[in-house]
Amino acid sequence: MNIVETIQEVRQIVGEWKKKGLTVGLVPTMGYLHEGHASLIEQAAKQNDKVIVSVFVNPTQFGVNEDLDSYPRDLQHDVKICEQAGGDCIFHPEPEEMYPQGFCSFVDMDVLTKELCGITRPTHFRGVCTVVNKLFNIVMPDRAYFGEKDAQQLAVIRRMVKDLNIPIEIIGCPIIREPDGLAKSSRNTYLSPEERKAALVLYKSISAGKQLVSSGEKRAEIIIQKMTEILTAEPLARIDYVKIVDAETMQPISEIDRPYLAAIAVYIGKTRLIDNFS
């Protein structure tokens, strides 16, 4: 397993692979890897000759009062998970390597980024688009892997690749959950034992919404109402949003008459968790 910190080293490694005609998959992460990340790496290893995993807590996607400083980090553990899942190289740059003095170019997006998480986190997707674009330009992979756990992010990346003619195939991978249903997330480590129990309410709400849709309910309002009711019953939960949107544009819809995304964001104590179904 190669662990590199500079852009030059990554370019050299990928350059050698490409000279041999090998295909390259990229899995962008913020580290503190768990089975959710591992599933992306495994998928990338199945579809490509070589896999690069980036581990970078990207400062530009955090808002001023968010958890940039407290975000969990453990590179040794990440190396282990990455190796087991079939990764070949970890790119772990320092913030200065990605954002040197004088950095002032950003990739921004309208429409999709103004809904859902974009309301509470107005600068988040600008940071995501910028860093993912930089990673694409640095690694120049054939394919890049993103989790459906962050469904809006996946839709944003798909849109960006289309709009900016980036020749990389974007692969979405299913949500990996804890045995009790909570979606795996590096941020789950913030939860106290009591909050961890309360966090199950997200999955309960998602399951109830899914159930309604499978039973034929098409009215977004009814589905949202049921999901909200379940979340509201948990005293430790505070809703950020419960929404049903068009799967491609992220704009709210009133009827499920096309591919959709039902998404929730909920604070459990101070920790903001997201989940979705589609």
Candidate segments 14-22, 109-117, 172-180, 230-238, binder of ligand AMP by CB under 6 A: 172-180
The one among 43, 60, 186, 188 contacting ligand AMP by CB under 6 A: 186
Per the structure block, which two tokens stand in for 247?
């799967």
**CB of 20: closest distance to ligand AMP in angstroms?**
28
150 binds ligand AMP (CB under 6 A): yes
The one among 14, 17, 24, 37 contacting ligand AMP by CB under 6 A: 37
CA dist 173 and 184 (Å) reads 13
**CB of 30: closest distance to ligand AMP in angstroms?**
4
Candidate segments 133-141, 163-171, 177-185, 196-204, binder of ligand AMP by CB under 6 A: 177-185
CA dist 229 and 213 (Å) reads 16
Single-letter residue type at 232: T
CA dist 189 and 97 (Å) reads 28
**CB of 243: closest distance to ligand AMP in angstroms?**
18
Look up residue 175 and give its DSSP letter. P
124 binds ligand AMP (CB under 6 A): no
Look up residue 111 and give its DSSP letter. G
Of all residues in the shown chain, the one whose CB is closest to ligand AMP is 147
Q: Phi and psi at residue 47, in whole multiples of 5°?
A: -100, -5
CA distances from 267 to 160, 199, 211, 273 (A): 29, 9, 23, 6
Contact 189, 72 (CB under 8 A): yes
Total residues found in the chain within this entry? 278
The one among 175, 208, 236, 247 contacting ligand AMP by CB under 6 A: 175
Catalytic-residue membership of 37: yes
Interface with ligand AMP in residues 39-58 (CB under 6 A): 39-40
Between 224 and 271, CB nearer to ligand AMP: 271
